[in-house]
C-alpha cells in the first residue's frame, strides 16, 4: 500500500536552522543523495543514551529499508517503534580556504526522522531484499542463488517512511574574507569521491568464470 | 592536563553484541580509523528525539574535537553535557557473495560514547583548531592567515574523551554457504576508497601561485 508521494519533506523538526542557504527540501535532491550513498547512520535512544550505527540501506519509492539479523540490538530496538533518525552523507571535497575559519568541506547530506515498521509479509520482505541488493549492485540479483525461506525468516527488514526529511548541500570553492583573496597562498578544492578499484575475485572461484560487467564497470550513480 | 592513556575502551555499553568476532577494542585500531576518516556522525537526543549530524572532527591524543559556529543547535545541545555518541565509518569494499544473505560490505567503524565539554580557554581552543586543520590537511596550518580572536570567539569547540569506545572491522572475501562455492557465478570484493582527484584552484587565485605538494599529493593515511 504505497503512500501518496509526499509533496513536502520539510517540517518544524527538519527545518535546517544553521546555514539555511545550504538547505534543500526537494524530493529529487533528497533521492539523489540516498541513491548514490551506500551506507546510512541510524540514530536511536537505548536506555536513555543515543547510539549511532552504520548500516546498508536502500530507497524504494517513498520508503527506506534497512535490514540485518534478527539478533541485532539496533533492529530489535527500532522494531518497537521508537523514534529514529537516519542520516546519509556524501563527502565531495575539501574546501581549502585562506583561513582556518573559512576552511570547509563540500558535502551532500540527508537527515530523515520517523519511526520504523518491521516488514513481516514474506513477499514484501523479498522485494525489500531485492531493493537492498539492487541499490548496492545493480544487475546482481538475477545471478544470485535464490534466497531461502529460512534465510528470510532469520532476517529483520525495517521500513522507514520518507516523509520528514531535509538535505543539506555545500558546493563550490572557498568563501574567504575579502581582504584574504590577495594573500599569496593557494586556495581551492580537493575533490573527493568514493571510488572502486580493480575487483578481487574470490580465492575459491571455479576456473573460467568471467567478471561480470556490472562488477568490472562498477560505479555509483552520481548526483553531481 | 592530558589524562592517563586509557588501557581499555571496552565497557558494558561498548561491548559489541552482534558479530562479536568483528569487534576490536585496541586503542591502535580505534586510532587508525579516527585518523583516516574525515567526518563523524554525532548522535544526541533533543526534545526526546534522536538526531544524527555529520561534521568534521580531529583526534588529539585521548580527545576528540568537534567544532562549529556558536549558533549550531547541535553544539549548543552538546555543550549542556548531554550524552553523545560519535560514530566514524570507513567503507572499504563491497563483498559480492553468491547469495543475498551473505552479501556484505568491508568496513571499519568506531563508536564512541560519552559527554562533550566546551573548550573555553583561548589557547586550548587554538590548539584544537590547529588539530582540526592538521587532521584534514597536514602542513596547511602554517600557510593559513592566522585565526583572529574574534573568529575564535565565534567558534564553539567541544572535547569528547576517548574513554568508552569500540571498533568493528570486516575484511576479506565473501563467506558463502559451503554448497554455494561450486556455483558458476563470479564472487569477490569490489574495493572502495575515498579518493582525491585533481585539485581545483580558486577562481580568484592571484597569478603565479603554485599548488602546494600537500594538496597535489593529497591522500589519507591508510589503516589497511
Give me the domain span that covers residue B129: 20-174+208-216
- Give the residue on B whose Cα is nearest the Cα of A78: B50
Written as one string, the DSSP assignment of B46-72 is ETTEEEEEEEE-EEETTEEEEEEETT-
Give A-chain residues touching B94 at CB under 8 angstroms.
38, 136-137, 196, 218
Question: Does residue A4 sit within a domain?
Answer: no
Per-residue pLDDT at A7: 47
Residue B182 — pLDDT band, cuts 50, 70, 90? very high
- Give the residue on A whose Cα is nearest the Cα of B53: A87
The CATH number assigned to the domain holding B43 equals 2.30.110.10
Name the average pLDDT for chain B: 92
pTM of the model as a whole:
0.93
- How many domains are there within chain A? 1
Torsion sign (Cα): A149, A154, A155, A156: positive
Give B-chain residues touching A41 at CB under 8 angstroms.
41, 43, 52, 54, 87, 89
Per-residue pLDDT at B8: 64
Chain B interface disruption, residue of A11, A20, A37, A41, most B CBs within 10 A: A41
Residue B10 has pLDDT above 90, yes or no: no
Question: Does residue A7 sit within a domain?
Answer: no
Annotate B159-189 with b (16+ C-beta within 10 A) or e (fewer): bbbbbbbbbbbbeebbebeeebeebebbbbb
Question: Does residue A2 sit within a domain?
Answer: no
For residue B96, give the nearest of A43, A137, A210 by CB distance.
A137
Q: Is B134 on the interface with A (CB under 8 A)?
A: no
pLDDT tens for B205-221 read 999 999 999 999 999 87
Pairs of residues, one from chain A and one from chain B, whose beta carbons lie less than 8 Å apart? 279
Per-residue pLDDT at A221: 75
Do the chains contact at B54 and A107, CB–CB below 8 Å? yes
Residue B102 — pLDDT band, cuts 50, 70, 90? very high
Cα distance between residue A21 and residue A29, in whole Å: 14
Question: Does residue B140 sit within a domain?
Answer: yes
Residue B6 has pLDDT above 80, yes or no: no
φ, ψ for residue A200 (rounded to 5)?
-110, 115
Per-residue pLDDT at B12: 80
Per-residue pLDDT at A14: 81
For residue A87, give the nearest of B44, B53, B209 by CB distance.
B53
Average pLDDT on B11-38 reads 87
Q: Is A38 on the interface with B (CB under 8 A)?
A: yes
Shortest distance, CA A4 to any CA of chain B (angstroms): 25
Question: Does residue A212 sit within a domain?
Answer: yes
For residue A43, give the nearest of B52, B147, B184 by CB distance.
B52
Helix (H) or strand (E) holding B38: none
Per-residue pLDDT at A42: 98
Question: Does residue B120 sit within a domain?
Answer: yes
Shortest distance, CA B81 to any CA of chain A (angstroms): 12
For residue B182, give the nearest of A98, A144, A206 by CB distance.
A206
Phi-psi region of A192 (alpha: psi -120 to 50; beta: other; left: phi over 0): beta
Do the chains contact at B43 and A85, CB–CB below 8 Å? yes
Per-residue pLDDT at B81: 94
Place of cell 556490472: A214
Tens-digit pLDDT string for chain A (224 aa): 344 444 468 888 888 877 778 888 889 999 999 999 999 999 999 999 999 999 999 999 999 999 999 999 999 999 999 999 999 999 999 999 999 999 999 999 999 999 999 999 999 999 999 999 999 999 999 999 999 999 999 999 999 999 999 999 999 999 999 999 999 999 999 999 999 999 999 999 999 999 999 999 999 875 33
Per-residue pLDDT at B16: 80
Question: Does residue B162 sit within a domain?
Answer: yes
Question: Does residue A9 sit within a domain?
Answer: no
Chain A interface disruption, residue of B37, B64, B74, B144, most A CBs within 10 A: B144
Do the chains contact at A197 and B180, CB–CB below 8 Å? no
Q: Which of A217, A143, A175, A128 is nearest to B180 (CA)?
A: A143
Cα B213 to Cα A172, B138, B202: the distances in Å are: 22, 11, 16
Give B-chain residues touching A86 at CB under 8 angstroms.
52
Chain B interface disruption, residue of A19, A84, A100, most B CBs within 10 A: A100
Amino acid at each position: 500500500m504505497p503512500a501518496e508521494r509526499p509533496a513536502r519533506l520539510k517540517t518544524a523538526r527538519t527545518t535546517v536552522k544553521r546555514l539555511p542557504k545550504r538547505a534543500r527540501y526537494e524530493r529529487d535532491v533528497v533521492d539523489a543523495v540516498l541513491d548514490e550513498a551506500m551506507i546510512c547512520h541510524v540514530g536511536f535512544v537505548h536506555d536513555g543514551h543515543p547510539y549511532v550505527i552504520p548500516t546498508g540501506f536502500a530507497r524504494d519509492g517513498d520508503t527506506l529499508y534497512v535490514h540485518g539479523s534478527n539478533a541485532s540490538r539496533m533492529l530489535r530496538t527500532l522494531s518497537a517503534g521508537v523514534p529514529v533518525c537516519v542520516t546519509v552523507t556524501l563527502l565531495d571535497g575539501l574546501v581549502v580556504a585562506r583561513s582556518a575559519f573559512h576552511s570547509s568541506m563540500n558535502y551532500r547530506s540527508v537527515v530523515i526522522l520517523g519511526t520504523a515498521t518491521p516488514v513481516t509479509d514474506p513477499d514484501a520482505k523479498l522485494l525489500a531484499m531485492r531493493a537492498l541488493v539492487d541499490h548496492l549492485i545493480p544487475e546482481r540479483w538475477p545471478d544470485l542463488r535464490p534466497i531461502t525461506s529460512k534465510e528470510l525468516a532469520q532476517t529483520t527488514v525495517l521500513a522507514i517512511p520518507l516523509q520528514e526529511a531535509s538535505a543539506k548541500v555545500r558546493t563550490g570553492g572557498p568563501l574567504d574574507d575579502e581582504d584574504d583573496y590577495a594573500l599569496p597562498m593557494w586556495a581551492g578544492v580537493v575533490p573527493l569521491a568514493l571510488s572502486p578499484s580493480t575487483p578481487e575475485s574470490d580465492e575459491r572461484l571455479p576456473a573460467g568464470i568471467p567478471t561480470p560487467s556490472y562488477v568490472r564497470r562498477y560505479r555509483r550513480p552520481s548526483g553531481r
